[in-house]
Amino acid sequence: MLILTIVIVAVNALFVERTVRIALRSNAAIGASEPPATLPSLSIVVPARNEERQIEDCVRSLLAQDYPDFEVIVVDDRSDDATPEILERVAASDRRLRVVPGKQLPAGWIGKPWAIEQGVAVSRGAWLLFTDADTIHEPAAAAAAVSYALRERLAALSLLTDQIVVTLAERAILPSILWTIAFGTGPLDDVNDPSQTEKALFNGQYLLVERSANDAIGGHASVRGEIAEDLELARRFKRDGRFRTALAGANALVRTRMYRSFPEIWDGFVKNFALGLRGQPVTAGLGITFFAILSPVAPLALIVAVAKRDAVASFSIASSMIAATAAAEFAMRRMRLPRWSGLWLHAGVATMVAIFATSIAKHARGDVRWRGRTYRSSPGSGGATEA
Q: Are residues 150 and 135 in the same domain?
A: yes
Q: Which one, of 279, 112, 249, 272, lies nearest residue 180 by Cα? A: 272
CA distance 208 to 206: 7
Q: What is the pLDDT of residue 81?
A: 94
Q: Which one, of 336, 190, 172, 326, lies nearest residue 251 by Cα? A: 336
Going by pLDDT thresholds of 50, 70 and 90, the confidence category of residue 282 is: confident
Average pLDDT over residues 334-356: 94
Whether the predicted pLDDT of 381 surpasses 50: no
| Residue where a domain terminates, one of 220, 246, 271 | 271
Q: Decide if 246 is inside a domain.
A: yes
Q: What is the pLDDT of residue 149?
A: 97
User: pLDDT tens, 176-226?
Assistant: 999 999 999 999 999 999 999 889 999 999 999 999 999 999 999 999 998
Q: Decide if 238 is inside a domain.
A: yes
- Within 10 Å of residue 141's Cβ, how many Cβ atoms? 30
Q: Are residues 255 and 341 in the same domain?
A: no
Q: Is 368 helix (H, G, I), strand (E, B) or coil?
A: strand
Q: Decide if 383 is inside a domain.
A: no
Going by pLDDT thresholds of 50, 70 and 90, the confidence category of residue 382 is: very low
Measured in whole angstroms, how far is the alpha carbon of residue 177 from the centre of its chain?
10
Q: Are residues 359 and 248 in the same domain?
A: no
Q: Is 8 helix (H, G, I), strand (E, B) or coil?
A: helix
Whether the predicted pLDDT of 49 surpasses 70: yes
Lowest mean pLDDT among 37-51, 126-140, 268-282: 268-282
The mean of the pLDDT values for the chain is 92
Q: Are residues 103 and 48 in the same domain?
A: yes
Whether the predicted pLDDT of 351 surpasses 90: yes
Q: Decide if 36 is inside a domain.
A: no
Query: Is residue 252 left, alpha or beta, with left meaning phi > 0 and alpha meaning psi from -120 to 50?
Result: left
CA distance 173 to 175: 6
Average pLDDT over residues 66-73: 96
Sign of CA dihedral 333, 336, 339, 343: negative
User: pLDDT tens, 317-329?
Assistant: 999 999 999 999 9
Beta pairing class for 254-256 and 162-163:
parallel
Q: Are residues 259 and 307 in the same domain?
A: no
Q: Decide if 385 is inside a domain.
A: no
Q: What is the DSSP string of 16-53?
A: HHHHHHHHHT---B---PPPPS----EEEEEEESS-TT
Q: Are residues 284 and 266 in the same domain?
A: no
Q: What is the pLDDT of residue 376?
A: 60
Whether the predicted pLDDT of 379 surpasses 60: no
Q: What is the DSSP string of 66-117?
A: --SSEEEEEEE-S-SSSHHHHHHHHHHH-TTEEEEEPPPPPTT--HHHHHHH
Whether the predicted pLDDT of 352 surpasses 70: yes
Phi, psi of 131 (to 5 degrees): -140, 150
Q: Which residue has the higher pLDDT, 33 or 208?
A: 208
Domain housing 291: 2-24+273-370
CB 229 within 8 A of CB 113: yes
Domain containing residue 90: CATH number: 3.90.550.10
Lowest mean pLDDT among 16-25, 32-41, 45-54: 32-41
Q: What is the pLDDT of residue 285?
A: 86
Q: Decide if 152 is inside a domain.
A: yes
Q: Which residue has the higher pLDDT, 215 or 273?
A: 215
Q: Are residues 282 and 191 in the same domain?
A: no
Q: Are residues 263 and 280 in the same domain?
A: no
Number of structural domains the chain divides into: 2
Q: Are residues 176 and 255 in the same domain?
A: yes
| Residue where a domain terminates, one of 212, 244, 271 | 271
Q: What is the pLDDT of residue 366?
A: 65
Q: Decide if 151 is inside a domain.
A: yes
Q: Are residues 263 and 295 in the same domain?
A: no
CA distance 197 to 2: 41
Q: Decide if 37 is inside a domain.
A: no
Q: Are residues 313 and 219 in the same domain?
A: no
User: pLDDT tens, 215-251?
Assistant: 999 999 999 998 889 999 999 999 999 999 999 999 9
Q: What is the maximum alpha-carbon separation in the chain?
A: 71
Average pLDDT over residues 52-70: 96
pTM higher than the cut 0.85: yes
Q: Are residues 302 and 242 in the same domain?
A: no
